Structure 1
Amino acid sequence: MTRKPRSVDDVRAAIFAAADLPLERAVTLPPEAYVDPGFFQLEADTVLAGGWICLAHVSQLKAKGDYIRLDLLDEPIVVIRGRDDEIRVLSRVCPHRGADILHPVFGGPNEGNEKILVCPYHRWSFEADGALKGCPEMDRAEGFEKSDWRLAPFRHEVWEGFVFVNLSGDAAPLAELYAPFREMIAPWRTAEMEVVIELKWDCAFNWKIMVENWIESYHHLGIHHTTLNPSMPAATTWTDEEQGHFIRCHLPFTPKVGAEVAEAARTGDAMGGFAPVPGLPLDRQTEWGLYLGLPCFMFLTARDRVIWYRLLPQAADRCALLTTTLVTKAAKDAPDYADVLAAETKMLSDFHMEDMQVNAAMQAGLKSSKVVKGRLSHLEQPIWHVQRYLARALSEGIAEAAQ
C-alpha cells in the first residue's frame, strides 16, 4: 500500500512529537521533512531566515574590494570588504529596476575584487558600502537624490573571524547565542587563521541530510570504516548535554593514536599534517571536536587545523556546500607546507566524497513510498538535538507569524 503524503501541518506536528521523546525512544523525522517543497518553504521562512547563516571567513576577503557572490534562499547576496576595511553583506539587487548586478549570466567570477560594483543594465554604480556612486542620465528625474538609492544591506555579524547573515534581521546577537561555543573554541584563535583549502560541492539533497550526517559519528563504522573509524571509532564518540543554540560532540582518537599525539606534543616532533596550533590543551589535541552552530554552521577543531563547512540551503532537494580547512600563519610558513597541503586536500576530498555518496542515497531513499519511521542509536544523540532545535524554531516562527 502506498503511503499517503503528509501535509505541511502534519510534518510540523511530527517534528514536535519527535522532539518530545526522550533520547532512548528517539525516532527519525518523516520523509516529507526532507523532500516536500511546501515544508522547505516553511522552514526557510522560519528556521533558516530567522537564524544566523555563515557566509565567509575574513581571510577570504583580505583586500579592500574583495567580494564573494552567494545566493541564499532566493536572495542574491554579495559579501564585500569596503574602502573603510569593513566587511558588509549587501543585496545584489539594483534599486533602479531590480536587476541582479552580479548575476552569473554576465560572466563574472564568484569571487573577485571590485571596489566599485556596476550594474550592467544601465551602468548604475555602487561603492562597496552600498552607496550609489554613479547613475547616468538621471538629472531630469524630479526629486531624485543619490543618497536615497543604495544597495540594501543585510544584518550581519563577524564572529570569531566568520561572517554571518541573518535574513530576518531579528535574531539575537551571536555573542549571546554562541557565548559558551566561543569559549570552547577560543584556543584556536580562528579570526587569525587562514582558509587554505576550498572544495565546492553541488549537492542534490536536503540541507538537513548534510547536517545530520555530519554531526553524528555513528556512520564512522559504515561509510567511513576505512577512512575515519580506524583512528576515531564510532563507538567511543560522545555528545555534550543539550546546549540550546549549538551542539558539541567529541571524537576521541584510539589509545594508540592518542599516545602518539601526546608524545609528539611532549617532544615537539611532527607526526603528519600541518604544524600544530600552539597552546592547545592535550585533551583537545587527542580528539576531533565537532560543533554545529544551529541551524547549519558546521565547524570542526583538530590539533593542527579547523575545518569549516559553508552550507547554503537552496531547495527541498538541493544545497550548495563549500568544505574548507583553516590553519595558522605559522603552518603556512613551514618548509613542507606545499606537500602537506596537497596530501590534506586529498584526505578532505576522499572522506567528504563518502559523505556525498551516502547523502545522495538518503535523498533518493526518502522519496520512496516504503520509507518507515526509523529509530535512532544513542550515538545519534546529535540528531535528536537537531530535532529539538527545529521544533523550537518552528514553534517560535508560528508564534511570530500570529502576532
Structure 2
Amino acid sequence: MTRSVLSVEEVRKAVFEAAELPLSRAITLPPETYVDPGFFAHEADAVLSRGWICLAHVSQLKKSGDYLRLDLLGEPVVVIRGRDGEIRVLSRVCPHRGADILHPVFGGPEEGNEPILVCPYHRWSFEADGALKGCPEMQKAEGFDKKDWRLSSFRSEIWQGFVFVNVSGDAAPLAELYAAFADMIAPWDTAEMEVVIELKWDCDFNWKVMVENWIESYHHLGIHHQTLNTSMPAAMTWTDPEQGHFIRCHLPFNKKTTEKVMEAAAKDAALDGFKPVAGLPLDRQLEWGLYLGLPCFMLLTARDRVIWYRLLPQSEGRCALLTTTLVTRAAMADPDFAETVAAETTMLRDFHLEDMQVNAAMQAGLRSSKVVRGRLSHLEEPIWHIQRYLARSLRVAEPASPSV
C-alpha cells in the first residue's frame, strides 16, 4: 500500500505532535519535511529567514573590498568589507533595472576583491557600503539623486568573529540568543582564529538531513566505525539539557586516546594536528564539543582547532556546504604548518565523504513511497531538540487568528 502524501498543514501538525513527545518515545518527522517543496517554502519563510544564518568568518574578509558571493533562500547576496572596515551583507540586485550585478554568467569569481561593485548591464557602480558611486547618462532624469539609489542591505551581525545574516530583519540579537553559547566557546577566542582549510560540497539533500546527521553521534558506530568511532565511541557521547536556541553535545575520547591527550597536555604539545589552543581547560581537551546554533550554525571545538560548517539551504533537496578549519595564529607560525594543513585537509575530506554518502542515501530513502517514521535512540537526543525548535519556530510564525 502506497503511503499518502501529507499537506503542509498536516506536516505542521505532525511536527507539533512529535515535539510534544518525551525523548523516550521520540519519533522521526514525516518525510515531507525533507522532500516536499511546499513545506520547504513554508519552512524557509517561517524558520530559516527569521533565524540567523552564518555566512562567513572575518578572516575570510581581511581587506577592504574583499567579498564573498552567495545565494541564500532565493536572495543573491554579497558579503563585503567596506573602506571603513565594516563587513556588510548587501543585495546584489541593481536598483536601476534589477540585474544581479555579480551573477555567475558574467564570469566573476565567487570570492575576491572589488572595492567598487559594477553592474555589467549599464555600468552603474557602487561602493562597498552600497552607496551609488557612478551612473552614466542619468543627468536628464528629473529629480534623480544618487543618494536615493543604494544597493539594499540585509540585517547582519558579527558574533565571535562569524558574520551572520537575518533575512527577515526581526530576529532577536545574537548576543541574547547565544549568550550561554558564547561563554562555552570563549576559551577558543574564535574571533582571533583564522580559516586555513576550506572544502566545498554540492549537496543533493535537505538541510535538516545535514544538521541532524552532524549533531548526533549515534552514527559513529555505523558510517564512521573505522574513523571517528575508534577514538570517540558513540555510546560515550551525551547531550546537554535543552538550551532553546542552540544545542551542545559532548564527544569524549576513549581511554587510550584520553591517556595520549593528557600526556600531550602536560607538555603543551601537539599530537597529530596543529599546535594546541593555549589555555584550554583539560576537560575541554579530552573531548570534541559539538554545537548547533539553531537553525544551522554548526561548530566543532577541539584542543587544536575549531571546525565550522557554512550551510546554505537552497531547496527541499539541495543545500550548499562549506566545511572549514580554523586555527590560532600561533599554530600558523609553526614550521610544519604547511604539512599539517595538507594532512588535516585529507582527514577532514575523508570523514566528511562518509557523511556525504550517508546523507545522499538518506534523502533517496525519504523520497520512497515505502518510507516509515522511525523511533529515535537516546543517542539521537539532539534530533529531538531540533524537532522542538522547529515546532516553536513554526508556531511563532503562525498568522494571527482573525478576530471574531
Give the TM-score normalised by the residue count of structure 2. Answer: 0.99
Cα deviation, residue 267, structure 1: 1.8
Write the letter of the residue equivalent to 1:397. Answer: A
User: CA–CA distance in 2 between the matches of 1:6 and 1:125?
Assistant: 48
Write the letter of the residue equivalent to 1:36. Answer: D
Cα deviation, residue 163, structure 1: 0.1
1:395 matched residue in structure 2: 395
Write the letter of the residue equivalent to 2:297. Answer: F
Cα deviation, residue 192, structure 1: 0.2
Alignment of 1:168-187 (within 5 A): 168-187=168-187
Output one character per residue of 1:50-86: Cα deviation in whole Å (capped at 9) or x when no partner.
0000000000000000000000011000000000010
For the residue of structure 1 that corresponds to 2:45, the secondary structure is helix
Alignment of 1:132-211 (within 5 A): 132-211=132-211
Inter-CA distance 97–400: structure 2 relative to 1 (3 Å threshold): farther
Cα deviation, residue 257, structure 1: 0.6
1:323 matched residue in structure 2: 323
Alignment of 1:165-314 (within 5 A): 165-314=165-314
Write the letter of the residue equivalent to 1:378. Answer: H
Aligned-residue CA RMSD in angstroms? Answer: 1.0
For the residue of structure 2 that corresponds to 1:196, the secondary structure is strand
1:332 matched residue in structure 2: 332
In 1, are the aligned partners of 2:15 and 2:391 still within 8 Å (CA)? yes
Write the letter of the residue equivalent to 1:372. Answer: V
Alignment of 1:309-388 (within 5 A): 309-388=309-388
2:76 matched residue in structure 1: 76
Runs of 4+ in 1 over 3 A off after TM superposition: 399-403
Aligned residues: 403
User: CA–CA distance in 2 between the matches of 1:205 and 1:265?
Assistant: 40
Alignment of 1:55-74 (within 5 A): 55-74=55-74
For the residue of structure 1 that corresponds to 2:326, the secondary structure is strand
Cα deviation, residue 328, structure 1: 0.2
Cα deviation, residue 268, structure 1: 2.7
In 1, are the aligned partners of 2:64 and 2:82 still within 8 Å (CA)? yes
Write the letter of the residue equivalent to 1:375. Answer: R
Deviates more, 1:251-260 or 1:25-34: 251-260
1:110 matched residue in structure 2: 110
Structure 2 unpaired stretches of 5+: none
User: CA–CA distance in 1 between the matches of 2:140 and 2:250?
Assistant: 65
User: CA–CA distance in 1 between the matches of 2:395 and 2:73?
Assistant: 20
Inter-CA distance 287–401: structure 2 relative to 1 (3 Å threshold): farther
User: CA–CA distance in 1 between the matches of 2:237 and 2:225?
Assistant: 14
2:126 matched residue in structure 1: 126
Output one character per residue of 1:156-193: Cα deviation in whole Å (capped at 9) or x when no partner.
00000000000000000000000000000000000000
Structure 1 unpaired stretches of 5+: none
User: CA–CA distance in 2 between the matches of 1:140 and 1:323?
Assistant: 50
In 1, are the aligned partners of 2:223 and 2:354 still within 8 Å (CA)? yes
Inter-CA distance 318–146: structure 2 relative to 1 (3 Å threshold): same
User: CA–CA distance in 2 between the matches of 1:63 and 1:117?
Assistant: 15
Cα deviation, residue 245, structure 1: 0.0
1:24 matched residue in structure 2: 24
Deviates more, 1:254-263 or 1:392-401: 392-401
For the residue of structure 1 that corresponds to 2:147, the secondary structure is helix
Cα deviation, residue 263, structure 1: 1.1
For the residue of structure 2 that corresponds to 1:229, the secondary structure is helix
Output one character per residue of 1:264-322: Cα deviation in whole Å (capped at 9) or x when no partner.
11123332100000000000000000000000000000000000000000000000000
User: CA–CA distance in 2 between the matches of 1:212 and 1:201?
Assistant: 17
Write the letter of the residue equivalent to 2:303. Answer: R
Write the letter of the residue equivalent to 2:85. Answer: D
User: CA–CA distance in 1 between the matches of 2:289 and 2:143?
Assistant: 57
For the residue of structure 2 that corresponds to 1:398, the secondary structure is coil
